[in-house]
Amino acid sequence: MKEKDIRPKKVFDKFLHLASLDIKKYFTKAKEKINCIACGKKGHFSFKKMNFSYYRCKNCNTLFVNPRPSKSTFSNYYEKSLSIKFLATHLYKKTEQARKDKIIKPKAKMVFEILKKNKKKNYSCVDIGGGYGIFATEISKLLKKRSVVIEPSSNLAQICKKKKLFVIQKFLEKVKKKDLPTDKNFFTCFELFEHVHNPSEFIKSVKQLMRKDDLFIFTTLSSTGLDILTLWEKSRSINPPHHLNFFNPKSIKIFLKKNKFKILNISTPGKIDLNILNNDQRNIKDRFWKNFITLSNEAEKNKMQNLISEINFSSHLMVVCKK
């Protein structure tokens, strides 16, 4: 898999341009100062990007936006902005097949194997922030049970309904247990944690919907991932106002234990860290990585990518935990 498969440059550049315009329109109100979203300690200013300040926690290396606009500001942005509309109608639509073949189907198989390993039979999937419903559709085929999608966007919710999925059109924090089918459920959430305004509120909302021993499987971006650490403020993965929270294998463990989850596995099964660096060589300052990207062949890059993933230094973070 290559970065261009899921983020075609011209389309992604257009999205980032629209986001920069939306920032000037929506994010002008007062901001809330916060401490580290993982461990609660005071963070330290690291850099500013598009008028958003990013702080790093010296205790757990979490990277987070601080101060951050109010939750109502973000709700308004996600409901009305041009960049979010473009995301749904162009970027996701253009890459839907590639994401399905190269990311979603393998992820569905991986989740299915996790369920088998944990002896979770006849469970239904509740996919939080289900978007186009691609994962929910693929996991439904493996489970042979209809999946549930929690999706607040009216446009995306309609797309999911057309795919015959059970749709709850609400923000997660407003979903109640009675809204869910009475089946045995496990919960998934992919590439959403980095977006949420208040991670503590979000994880508490997930927990309230779960029964004891229910699984929660999610992915997010890691602040100690190779491409993010190397490119830092130049990283295209750090793009406000969308990506506010960057946990890592150490800090997500602190965060989940604080919220009384039992952790089953933390991994970074990423595939494109080196490809991202290869596509953005001009912003690499570290001499080792600049030379490695320039001088290594494809086989050597693949070996290094596999090693980076195995030792939990990919920027794609995956967690399996339970209540």
| Nearest C-alpha neighbor of 321 from the set 193, 131, 227, 229 | 193
- pLDDT, one tens digit per residue, over 32-89 is 899 999 999 999 999 999 889 999 999 999 999 999 998 888 888 887 888 878 877 7
Please give the pLDDT value at position 179: 93
Least confident interval from 18-27, 250-259, 279-288, 291-300: 18-27
Please give the pLDDT value at position 17: 86
H/E run at residue 229:
helix 226-231
Mean pLDDT to the nearest integer, 249-259: 98
In which band, very low, low, confident or very high, does the pLDDT at 1 lie, cut at 50, 70 and 90?
A: low
Query: Could you say which DSSP state residue 297 is in?
Result: -
> Positive or negative, the Cα torsion across 130, 241, 293, 46?
negative
Pick among 1.10.150.120, 3.40.1190.20, 3.30.300.30, 3.40.50.150: CATH of 97-322: 3.40.50.150
Please give the pLDDT value at position 6: 62
Q: Are 268 and 315 in contact (CB under 8 A)?
A: yes
Cα(252)–Cα(255) distance, integer angstroms: 5
Please give the pLDDT value at position 43: 95
Residues whose CB falls within 8 Å of the CB of residue 315, separated by 6 or more in sequence, listed in order: 221, 222, 225, 226, 227, 228, 237, 268, 270, 273
Q: Are 33 and 67 in contact (CB under 8 A)?
A: yes
Please give the pLDDT value at position 182: 85
